[in-house]
Amino acid sequence: MHRLWVLGVFIFLYLPLVVVIVYSFNDSRLNAEWVGFTLGWYRVLFRDDEMLKAAGNSLAVAFASSLIATVLGTLAGIAIQRYRLKFLNFLVMAPVAMPEVLAGVSLLLFFIQLMDMDLGMLTVVLAHVAFSVGFVAVVVRVSVASLDRSLFDAARDLGASPLAVFRHVTLPLVMPGIIAGFLMAFTLSIDDFVITFFTAGVGFQTLPLRIYSMIKISVTPEVNAVSTLLMILTLVLTLVAMRLAPEAIKGEA
């Protein structure tokens, strides 16, 4: 009974994704009956210039924002853990805990009203950094917390200056956490729809924005194809991140 229920939950979790993948190979314009196998929708996808441009934008935003977020999040994670900085912890974690729509509209107000910026790639990158810093900080913080505090004392004691301690001890030991944090930030950025939706403006499109407008206007199996590819990408990234910092990702800290 118990096991049956759990089996049901797993079916609930996977059935939708399986349906998307299966339909991406279906030789029919309608997402209804199975007609026959085709790779046609992938061919359509790779000839869709707008889609390819959106994908390029997504990758560019993801690289830029996750790099910045990794630097800031690493510093924040180490600082929070070492000096018990409650305020900084609140600053980086609050955007993670809030509904995304709030971050989206407040950043929209900020960029337009206060900074007088044109919405576009720059605003999207900044917005993505703002919500990813917290994720990186958590992962890094957990890997710092799992270290014996006396390691840092020992390094000082044996003649290392604070800067040398950071370079030779802290950084190499939290590196798996930093890489995992980077991959998380990258995945989050590639995936983000809501905050991008508010901060991208009219001229700039990322992959999720493009998918959204396709869903809203007309559902073609091309969406299934791009979804399948995106699933594979995030699957790989997630698996790598989990291998690097298992405790942090499972939230067992």
Partner 1 sequence: MALLEIRNATRRFGRFAAIDGVSLSIEAGEFFTLLGPSGCGKTTLLRMIAGFEKLDSGQIFLDGRDLSGIPPEKRPVHTVFQSYALFPHMTAFDNIAFPLRMAKRPEREIGERVLKALGDVRLAEKSDAYPRNLSGGEQQRVALARGLINRPRLLLLDECLAALDAKLRVEMQIELIDLQKELGITFVFVTHAQDEALALSHRIAVLNRGRVEQVGEPSSVYGSPRNRFVADFIGHISQIEAVVRESAPRHLRLEAQGLEITAPPMKSAVAGEKGIFAIRPEQVRMGLDDITDLRNHYRGTVESVLYRGDVSLYKVRLEGGALMEALLPNTGRTFGVNDEVCVGWRHDAGMYLNE
Partner 2 sequence: MNERLEKWLLAGAPTLFMLALFAVPSAIMLLASFRYPGEYGGLAPMSEGRGLTLETYRFFFSDFIYIRVFIKSIIMASLTTAFCLLLAYPLALLMSRSPQRRRNAMLLLVILPFASNFLIRVYAWMLLLGPQSALNRIVNALLGLFGFAHVQLLFSPFAVLVAMVYAHLPFMVLPLYANLVRHDPLLLDAAQDLGANSWQRFWRVTFPLSLPGVYSGSALVFIPALGMFVIPEILGGTRDMLIGNLIKEQFLVARDWPFGSALAVLLTLSVMLIAWLAGRPGGRHA
**Total residues found in the chain within this entry:** 253
Contact of residue 35 among partner 2, partner 1, none (CB under 5-8 Å per partner type):
none
Backbone φ, ψ for residue 135 (5° rounding): -65, -45
Q: How far is the CB of 167 from partner 1 (least distance, A)?
A: 11
CB 92 within 8 A of CB 181: no
State CA 143 to chain mean position distance: 19
Among 157, 203, 217, 218, binds partner 1 (CB under 8 A): 157
Closest Cα to residue 66, out of 6, 135, 151, 14?
135
* 167 sits near partner 1 (criterion: CB under 8 A): no
Contact of residue 199 among partner 2, partner 1, none (CB under 5-8 Å per partner type):
none
CB 129 within 8 A of CB 212: no
Contact of residue 217 among partner 2, partner 1, none (CB under 5-8 Å per partner type):
none
Which CB, 126 or 245, lies closer to partner 1?
Answer: 245
Sole window of 116-124, 161-169, 197-205, 210-218 interacting with partner 1 (rule: CB under 8 A)? 161-169
Question: Token pair of 18, please?
Answer: 């399986």
Contact of residue 142 among partner 2, partner 1, none (CB under 5-8 Å per partner type):
none
The dihedral through the CA atoms of 30, 35, 38, 40 has a sign that is negative
Among 16, 36, 159, 203, binds partner 1 (CB under 8 A): 159
d(CA 143, CA 134): 14
* 117 sits near partner 1 (criterion: CB under 8 A): no
Contact of residue 64 among partner 1, partner 2, none (CB under 5-8 Å per partner type):
none
CB 104 within 8 A of CB 199: yes
Q: How far is the CB of 176 from partner 1 (least distance, A)?
A: 10
CB 206 within 8 A of CB 196: yes
Among 153, 232, 236, 239, binds partner 1 (CB under 8 A): 153
* 27 sits near partner 1 (criterion: CB under 8 A): no
Instruction: Using alpha carbons, list the distances in angstroms from residue 11 to 5, 7, 44, 225, 239.
Output: 10, 6, 30, 22, 21
The dihedral through the CA atoms of 162, 168, 174, 175 has a sign that is positive
Contact of residue 88 among partner 1, partner 2, none (CB under 5-8 Å per partner type):
partner 2
Q: How far is the CB of 140 from partner 2 (least distance, A)?
A: 11
Closest Cα to residue 180, out of 121, 118, 253, 231?
253
Among 11, 18, 154, 235, binds partner 1 (CB under 8 A): 154
Contact of residue 28 among partner 1, partner 2, none (CB under 5-8 Å per partner type):
none
The binding site for partner 1 (CB under 8 A) comprises 148, 150-151, 153-161, 164, 168-169, 172-173
